[in-house]
Structure 1
């Protein structure tokens, strides 16, 4: 649906070259919610503005449905842009216009007949839950309601793609959850592909199918939500995961392990979906001559699916521990932990 092929965006400042986006290769599939996460200055907002050519690539190709946007004429590009809606962090509403007129605005400038505008605005406001706010002005609305207006406006032209640039970062946690729930409905009911930019790991955990992590203009890691939460490889990705799910063994526990000389018997057991409710470790302790000592762990949800890990110490003879690990691996993922207190 959306493909970046060696895309870069280079700015010149006082004779110096700044690569805001640097040789990015990325593919967003049709109908998925794809998250791009990174710290401030990582290049993620520039990346999303390249999709509708609000920023023009310095290098590479940008394709939407197989069509290279950089090769289009201005009339052709205007036509494609109608298929791409955008939601902004600070709403960008017309303060002097009512909710209804804000939503109608993109339709009016596209020359849609008034009767069609009226019916479309009514439909979209009902979808986002703001039918009763049509005659109010932005300064009469809460932050969440303003963002719902922004979403309604972006949906007015029936786009195929929705770009979200930090769409929830100005909202409180409860309002953020409601907006994310609405975005899932947008994807599910309208089959719209959503590209979401954020610096909040709890947002991608809640709503995204796949994510890419950016740093210094480059994509440093990408994959499914489960892959990046269960086995993050890059230090930056690990830092983001740690903000919502601690997966490192506390130093005090590591010191105790090393004092006992037991570090070679430490394992991380990862649970997903149904396995989270299975008594895997209890079964092992009863079936083999090993004792299971739970050192650390956490269970959470990824898009409503239970996910988590436990760090355990297995005590017993080596051959029994090997048998126990083989048994555990039939149900869940097991990784040996090379732990050092440092």
Structure 2
């Protein structure tokens, strides 16, 4: 549906090249929710503006539905843009217009007959859950309600693609969750492809099928939610994952282990799918002369797959610990993270 082929965007700043997007290759499939995440200045907002040619690539091609946008005539480009809706961080509503007229605006400028406009707006407002707000003005709405208006406006022209640029950044966590649920509903019921730009890892974990991580204009890592959360390779990706799935042992705990001394080892055990429900550590305590001390842990769900990790301390004779580790690694992944903390 959306393809970036060796795409770069270079700006001139004080006589020097500023490379906002640097040789990006991405393929976003029809009907998926694809997230692009990165810190401020990573190039993600520039990337999304290349999709509807609000920014023209300096090099490479952006294809939408197989069409190279840069090769289209202005009338054909306008037709493509009608198939692309956009949702903004700060809503971009017309304060002097009612909810109804805000949603109707893109239809009005497209020359759609008034009778059709009223029918479509009524349908969309019902879909996004704010039909009763039709005659109110933006300053009478909450942030979540304003974003629902923004989503309704983006859907008014029946687009194939939705571009979401930090669509939940101005919202509280509870409202964010409701908006993400609405976007999933949009994808599922209207079969719309959604490209989501964000700096919030909890957002991509909640809604996206695949993600790309950007840094300094480049895509440094990409893959499914499960792949990047369970085994992030780049340090930036690891830092993002850590914001929602903390896996570092608190220094105070490590200090306590060090003070106690003795023959101790610390391991990270990773649970995936059915292994998440197995009593692995209980069996270790029963079958081997080893004491298991759970230091830290978290279990979550990624794309419907249970995933989690525990950081444990194993105490006992080296031979018994080796036997215990051999047993564990036949069931789950285990890796020593601090050797002989004492």
Settle same-fold status: TM greater than 0.5.
Answer: yes
The separation in 1 between residues aligned to 2:78 and 2:295, in whole angstroms, is 58
Cα 1:191–1:320 change in 2 (3 A) is farther
Q: Does structure 1 retain, via aligned residues, the 8 Å contact 2:291–2:314? A: yes
Change (3 A) 1:9 1:157: same
What corresponds to 1:90 in structure 2? 90
Distance 1:262 1:337, change over 3 A: farther
TM-score by length of 2: 0.92
Instruction: Give the match for residue 141 of structure 2.
Output: 141
Matched, 1:48 2:32: no
Contact 1:254/1:339 (8 A) holds in 2: no
Asked if 1 retains the 8 angstrom alpha-carbon contact of 2:263 and 2:316, the reply is: no
RMSD: 2.2
> Which position in structure 1 is the counterpart of 2:217?
217
- Residue segments in structure 2 that go unaligned for 5+ positions in a row: none
Rate the CA distance shift 1:112–1:240 in 2: closer, same or farther, 3 A: same
1:101 corresponds to? 101
> Using a 3 Å threshold, how does the CA distance of structure 1 residues 338 and 73 change in structure 2: closer, same or farther?
farther
SS in 2 for 1:35: strand
List alignment gaps of at least 5 residues for structure 1: none
Alpha-carbon offset, residue 255 of structure 1? 4.5
- Evaluate the alpha carbon distance shift between residue 127 and residue 155 of structure 1 in structure 2; reply closer, same or farther with a 3 A threshold: same
Deviations 1:127-179 (A, max 9, x none): 10011111111111111100000000111111111110000111111111110
Partners of 2:326 and 2:283 in 1: how far apart? Answer: 13
Moved more, 160-169 or 327-336: 327-336
Distance 1:200 1:23 in 2: 24
What is the DSSP-based 3-state SS (H/G/I as helix, E as strand, rest coil) of the residue aligned with 2:56? coil
Is 280-289 or 132-141 further displaced after alignment?
280-289
Aligned partner of residue 121 in structure 1, secondary structure: helix
2-structure distance, mates of 1:334, 1:40: 35
Between stretches 303-312 and 123-132, larger displacement belongs to 303-312
Write the distance in 2 (CA, Å) between the matches of 1:340 and 1:17.
51
| Secondary structure of the corresponding residue to residue 243 of structure 2 | helix
The 1-side partners of 2:340 and 2:177 are apart by 38
**1:153 counterpart SS class:** helix
The aligned residue for residue 9 of structure 2 is 9
How far apart, in 1, do the equivalents of 2:144 and 2:133 lie? 13
Would the aligned equivalents of 1:11 and 1:20 in 2 still touch at CA under 8 Å?
A: yes
Match of 1:295 in 2: 295
1:114 is displaced (CA, Å) by 2.0
Alignment length, in residue pairs? 340
> 1:1-342, aligned counterparts within 5 Å?
1-255=1-255, 260=261, 265-302=265-302, 305-316=305-316, 320-337=320-337
Deviation at 1:84, TM superposition (A): 0.9
How far does residue 187 in structure 1 lie from its aligned partner after superposition?
1.0
Determine the C-alpha separation between the residues in 2 that align with 1:334 and 1:112: 61
Structure 1 residues 37-46 or 219-228, which shifts more?
A: 219-228
Check 1:338–1:83 CA distance in 2 against 1; reply closer, same or farther (3 A cut): farther
Aligned to 1:337, the other structure's residue is in SS state: strand
Residues 254 and 340, structure 1, Cα contact 8 Å, conserved in 2: no
